[in-house]
Structure 1
Amino acid sequence: MELIDVTSAADPRLDDFRALTDTALRAVSEPAGGLYIAESAKVIERAVRAGHRPRSVMVQRRWVDGIRSLLSEHDVPVYVVPDEVAEAVTGFAVHRGALASMHRPPLHSVADVVAGASLVLILEGIGDHTNIGAAFRAAAGLGADAVLVSPRCADPLYRRSVRVSMGTVFQVPWTRITDWDAAVADLRAADIRLAALALRDDAVSLDAYAKNRPERVALMMGSEGEGLSADALASADAIVTIPMTGGVDSLNVAAAAAVALWAMKP
């Protein structure tokens, strides 16, 4: 690790961290260059422990000691900047002290990720990074063995997703589905049954389904606006709904994922 003082926001060595506002990156599914941003010492620590490789770090001086303890054995430049430089570069107040530019690990195949899994969460078409992060946190905390995300899902490694997940995107094995039919074939080959969470007249209630849950099951969750696609619903072995009261027909997708995962726990 090499500590380097940087006093100008225009310094090109800080380009990895430049203009990271949600507006600038929200529409980007996979940031260019195969990188993602880990924000805060805790998230950086979890990423490094998961085997992810840092490319560079920008840190405010008062947070240097914490970063030194995390990255002392890594060959990585650590740019030490004043608070005003950090804010000018990123476009927001960096309250957590440190940002790391991390190399993205290669994604594994669906078959590899679900091998041996008994409980899988599938997220389809969910564009909100906060919901993605919250769903990953639920998956980690409630015992999901793997998460699959569709091509139109927001990026689990986007900095807001990572932050909301509290770094659990580094704990739960996951990958991105590239072809739905191929993914379903891989799930079938692993003897995983598909349960679609949806509002339909023929849906079985979650508690009833959980009482006789398959030994291996994947819970499919769609976006709050459109719900699951026709292809996802057609591939389901069961349509499941969470019984609601108070005139409310559904929960936020991350909350629904948490409820469904909890119900599926052995």
Structure 2
Amino acid sequence: MEIVRIASLEDPRLADYVGLTDVQLRMRTEPERGLYIAESQTVLSRALRAGHAPRSVLVSERWLPDVAAIAGDLDVPVFVGDEAQLQGITGFHLHRGALAAMQRPVLPEPRALLADARTVVVLDGLVDHTNVGAAFRSVAGLGADAVLVTSTCADPLYRRSVRVSMGTVLQVPWTRIPAWREAGAMLREAGFQTAALALADDAIDLADWRRERADRVAIVLGNEGHGLGPDALAAADVVVRIPMHHGVDSLNVAATSAVALWAVLHA
């Protein structure tokens, strides 16, 4: 690796790291520029194991030996600075030691991803990157096969999503899917029963559905505020709910993903 001591915060080679706290800017520019940010040595290590290619690394002086142990053989620049310099570039205190600008991988074709899967999760319209990352962690930890993401869902490779997922978003197979009219037909053709988690009058209890579910299932989770839209509900084969108590109507979407997957895969 090429060690580059930061001499100026205006160095154009640092452009990938500038203003990382500007969510709207990063949501637009990172996909356009074909990159995502891996935060922490743990996430960087998982990204490298997944075969993702770094463009560069940004690290504080005291964490350089740890980064060298992970990425020392890579032919990429490693920008090194003190904590004040790094905060001036990124907009936040880099207390996890390192950031890496990574090339975005090419997403698989949805039908290819479904071919060998039996349990998938569909994230439709989630806007909170924390929830997206937590859902991916549930998928990885509980053993689902893949995640499908609609066009209205927050970016799984946004920095906060990757960090909250503990890097599992880099390990779990996932891809974007088309609008529900096409996506619903695609799931049916692949032999999946589509189960929408929603508060509907005709929803059945999770435990009852689990006992009678199909062998291949797609669990659909919706927006944190208004849930699933009419197109998603129309595409579903069944609407499922988790029974609640004490006047609570539902769980956070990330918690819902964990409960539903536990019921399907382990109960």
Which category of TM-score, normalised to the shorter sequence, fits these structures?
Answer: over 0.9
TM superposition shift of 1:190 = 1.5
Kindly indicate whether residue 114 of structure 2 is the aligned counterpart of residue 118 of structure 1: no
| Matched residue count | 266
Match of 1:141? 141
Indicate the RMSD between aligned Cα atoms, in angstroms.
1.4
Match of 1:76? 76
Is contact 2:118-2:217 (8 Å) kept? yes
Distance verdict in 2 for CA 1:112–1:231, change over 3 Å:
same
Structure 2 counterpart of 1:139, one-letter code:
V
Structure 2 counterpart of 1:112, one-letter code:
A
Q: Which runs of 5+ in 2 are unaligned?
A: none
Which of 227-236 and 6-15 deviates more? Answer: 6-15
TM superposition shift of 1:158 = 0.3
Match of 2:100? 100
- Give deviations 1:144-170, integer Å, cap 9, x for gaps: 100011101100000000000000001
TM (normalized to structure 2)? 0.96
> What is the CA–CA distance in structure 2 between the aligned matches of 1:165 and 1:103, rounded to whole Å?
18
Distance verdict in 2 for CA 1:237–1:29, change over 3 Å:
farther
> What is the CA–CA distance in structure 2 between the aligned matches of 1:47 and 1:245, rounded to whole Å?
40
Match of 1:251? 251
Is contact 1:30-1:155 (8 Å) kept? no
Match of 1:235? 235
> What is the CA–CA distance in structure 2 between the aligned matches of 1:28 and 1:198, rounded to whole Å?
30
Q: Which runs of 5+ in 1 are unaligned?
A: none
Structure 1 counterpart of 2:176, one-letter code:
R
Match of 1:19? 19
Match of 2:260? 260
Q: Secondary structure at the match of 2:48?
A: helix
> What is the CA–CA distance in structure 1 between the aligned matches of 2:117 and 2:25, rounded to whole Å?
33
Structure 1 counterpart of 2:237, one-letter code:
D
Match of 1:48? 48
Match of 2:187? 187
> What is the CA–CA distance in structure 2 between the aligned matches of 1:132 and 1:27, rounded to whole Å?
14
- Give deviations 1:115-167, integer Å, cap 9, x for gaps: 11111000100011000000000111111100011101100000000000000
> What is the CA–CA distance in structure 1 between the aligned matches of 2:202 and 2:16, rounded to whole Å?
50
- Give deviations 1:56-88, integer Å, cap 9, x for gaps: 111101111111111122111101111111000
Match of 1:154? 154
TM superposition shift of 1:186 = 2.3
Structure 2 counterpart of 1:35, one-letter code:
L
- Give deviations 1:225-246, integer Å, cap 9, x for gaps: 1211111111111110000001
Kindly indicate whether residue 132 of structure 2 is the aligned counterpart of residue 132 of structure 1: yes
- Give deviations 1:180-218, integer Å, cap 9, x for gaps: 333222212210110010101111100111112210000
Q: Secondary structure at the match of 1:15?
A: helix
- Give deviations 1:8-63, integer Å, cap 9, x for gaps: 22222211100100544465385331001000000001011101100011110111
Q: Secondary structure at the match of 1:105?
A: coil
> What is the CA–CA distance in structure 2 between the aligned matches of 1:26 and 1:198, rounded to whole Å?
31
